[in-house]
A and B are shown apart, each in its own frame.
Chain A
């Protein structure tokens, strides 16, 4: 890891609730990621994987510690700045695809770019078409999510995560709902994107088979990183 890290987290903590009901979920996370890195995030249920991804994705604020990305101090940034940062530099894939049911596959892929710009453009449309091509769904452009299979929807979701050319894609159990074959297809896709576009991926999973396809392995146990 000689290159400047894209992500740097020091002593990150997250506490839910107050007083009696207080729950310390993250207990001091130290983590850096280099450009183009692809890491699996493993850990038993309740260890804090989703919480960590949500904080790294600027969807939730940490309770303490340092959180920097691309030189931006995300602990100090305002909500609007975090929203703009998220839109520009981060991509998300969730366990459930969460595609917008009223939009076609192509329009869903364009959505993060169009939402940021306030309009759809020809350039976006072309980039979205290329991405759908890359995930093998060129012939499903005008289908709505309701007419796609679970694996196809998740591939559309991966394409959507890439539309704004993010530096880092955070994927929370992206294959959790898929069978082995569909899961492998999605992982293959992620690997090839990681290699061709040098996009970094942080992928949480319970599946050793999935984790085995990632060069780096981060293990979480009870709110602490035990192996990285």
Chain B
């Protein structure tokens, strides 16, 4: 790329400021679309992930299934496996495990829980519920129950429970009322409703019942063991890797949230692909725009090109001038577009604070540098064919015309 080519390319762009500005704003618009789509698709993914992982455990640790081992798998004998149902599924020795989990990098909350099924009675109405016995102070470790209370308080005395607003609605329950609850072990007991929560997750709001850890022990006949340990990790996307490490260090069965949410990931994938297609079209528009503008410009400047060739300019010089000119249009347009997009996206709230109905646009995921790089590359490619055409112009014909 000779300095003279650089000079002539700049000179032509500067000599036609209106035309150059128009072309560059076209490029800027395409780059704006590219960045906006990146920020939106990325923001949507962040928002959906946040919403999904917000109120669920990231990893659940349980006792592994105790399937009998097959001793002679190659013997040819028919083997019928029978699950060992003679003992309760429980983590019997759990106290030593908790510090091991807490020491694992990325783990932010650990909540040992007593879990069980039960039904609540009120008059003639029955409703199945899932009971969650949580340790004091760990009520909001997994889902933000304290923040979701819509009536009453989140205090859990030994005879208190917290129920979801849908269950309350179905059975016509209010804070302070007494409710009879029968566990899957056949034990029944009366509880007073301390508070009602709305998590926004239908199944939880209809079926989850929170109670004190020790109370739950009695209700489900678990004097020493626990049902499971739920944990939160940061970042949530590391759950699978942390789960694998915990499986090795604790010997427990671990389930990361990513395993149970493949639909979410398929959805995010489809979204990302849609975004990629739109971004590709934005780039194609830029390529077509620059290529046609360059072709027109070359036809208009035939005589000029012819005279330069007649005066000894090499084909290479002509190609460099036009490739450079197209690339400059792309680069300057891209930088301007990225700058404007950056300023426009700057005042938008972070995704975690987007109100429902608002677009979750994440400026940080705008891919500004990628947009500039790809656009510049696209512009350079778009100008190669027109530039080669310019170099093939026959000086004799061009000067004669």
Contact = CB atoms under 8 A, between A and B. Distances in A.
A142 interface: no
B311 A118 contact: no
Contacts of B3: 118-120
A21 interface: no
B396 A116 contact: no
B310 A101 contact: no
Interface string B292-336: 000000000001101111111110010000000000000000000
B18 to A, nearest CB: 14
A164 B312 CA distance: 10
Nearest to B14: A102
Contacts of B5: 118
B2 A118 contact: yes
Among B2, B312, B317, chain A packs the most CB atoms within 10 A around the CB of: B312
Interface residues of A, number: 29
Nearest to A80: B314
Interface in A87-146: 87-88, 92, 94, 96, 98, 100-103, 111-112, 114-120
Chain B residues touching A, range:
20 to 34
A226 interface: no
B15 interface: yes
A197 to B, nearest CB: 18
B399 interface: yes
Contact of B310 (A59, A84, A116, A119): A59
B180 interface: no
Interface string A62-101: 0000000000000000001001101110001010101011
A114 B307 CA distance: 14
A160 interface: yes
Given A94-B399, A98-B399, A100-B304, A86 B310 contact: yes
9 contacts: A80-B314, A83-B312, A94-B307, A98-B304, A98-B306, A100-B308, A115-B312, A116-B313, A120-B4
Interface of B: 2-5, 7-8, 11-12, 15, 303-304, 306-314, 317, 395-396, 399
Interface of A: 54, 57, 59-60, 80, 83-84, 86-88, 92, 94, 96, 98, 100-103, 111-112, 114-120, 160, 164
